[in-house]
Amino acid sequence: LRILGIETSCDETAAAVVSRFEDGTGRIEADVVLSQLDEHSAYGGVVPEIAARAHVEALDSLIEEALVRSGTTLDEIDAIAATAGPGLIGGLIVGLMTGKAIAHATGKPLYAVNHLEGHALTARLTDGLSFPYLMLLVSGGHTQLVLVRGVGDYERWGTTIDDALGEAFDKTAKLLGLPYPGGPAVEKAAASGDAKRFNFPRPLVGEARLDFSFSGLKTAVRQAAEGIAPVTDQDISDICASFQRAISRTLDDRIGRGLQRFLAEFPDREGMPALVVAGGVAANQELRRTLQSLCDRHGFRFVAPPHHLCTDNAVMIAWAGLERMGTGLPSDTLDVQPRSRWPLDAGAQAVIGHGK
């Protein structure tokens, strides 16, 4: 089976061609991503109108490029998978409508994919993971701990009650005068900082529920910065290092509880349990060290797919479509609608306009 995947939910326009074989393994035939970072950086964040327009302008030629690079014609494609949500509605409309048009013109089935499902299933393509496993998604828009039980079968165990983790990095960078996107800038500054200088809050640590909260941390950073005048580069480094340390400690507690819950719910699971990380913040080395040591302590395998498959891409959308096909789950009808909000555990298949 071979699928064309389309992703336009945020600020990356992406197209990919992916194959899946009978033994359940897959192969990336082409993976094309165009980041809109430059277009948004002047505004310090993603501007929805600019994003939607950029998707319109880029998508057709990206799809063509993916087909050419994979040496595939549309005739040789078995289905089309396009992100239908969650995300910015303008971009979702562009990608899903394009997917529908190709499906309509070629008569191939359409899979309207949940973007979060794409992130959740990537580790099965890259590392051949078997169900069930835990996934931590940490990006600019999401912070979720999800139990991945099967294709289309997800349970959200924890989510942020305010800012996403990537958002906390971006806002912290902004108020320290560091460039956008904030994550890489904060990590770089932190490398030469004293992580013990500031004792920033560790929200929700110790609580039984598995949720996250990062807005208080951002406020504490602001207060720390305001308490110093003038702020030197060393101060900024110390704040960034202390900020990352607070996050590490918080995740250590929150995710640690998640791992314990997993072991309690699946005592008879065969093989080593696994924690998968996804999303742009997964690039952060301290976060990786924290999760690795946490997994070592709890007897989990820590899986971090390659960086370009952790951030937004169309490979994961194509793969999610292939997984649904392989499992015999139905495709979607052409009246399926994009959804800016679409929780993963509300059902992976589009609830609106769902095909037979």
Q: How far is the CB of 163 from ligand ATP (least distance, A)?
A: 10
Q: Which positions from 241 to 280 touch ligand ATP by CB under 6 A, shown as an x/- string? A: --------------------------------------xx
**312 among the known binding-site residues?**
yes
Determine the residue type at 171.
K
Residue 225 CB neighbour total at 10 angstroms: 18
Residues 6+ apart with CB under 8 A from 48: 88, 89, 90, 91
Binding-residue pattern over the window 276 to 315 for Fe ion, x denoting contact by CB under 5 A: ------------------------------------x---
- Closest alpha carbon to 177 in 236, 220, 244: 236
Rg, the chain, Cα only:
20
Judged by CB, which is closer to Fe ion: 98, or 139?
139
141 interacts with ligand ATP by CB under 6 A: yes
Nearer to ligand ATP, 27 or 289 (CB): 289
- Applying the rule CB under 6 A, the residues between 155 and 194 that interact with ligand ATP are 166, 169-170, 181-184, 187
338 interacts with, out of Fe ion, ligand ATP, Mg ion, none, CB within 5 to 8 A per kind: none
**114 known member of a binding site:** no
CB 96 within 8 A of CB 82: yes
Class of residue 26 by CB neighbours under 10 A (exposed 0-12, middle 13-18, buried 19+): buried
Q: Is 187 annotated as a binding residue?
A: yes
CB of 104 to ligand ATP, least distance (A): 27
Tell me if 130 is assigned to a ligand binding site: no
Describe the strand order of the beta sheet including 143-150 as a list of residue ranges.
Answer: 153-159, 143-150, 133-138, 274-278, 301-303
Residues binding Fe ion (CB under 5 A): 139, 312
Annotated binding site for substrate: 137-141, 170, 183, 187, 284
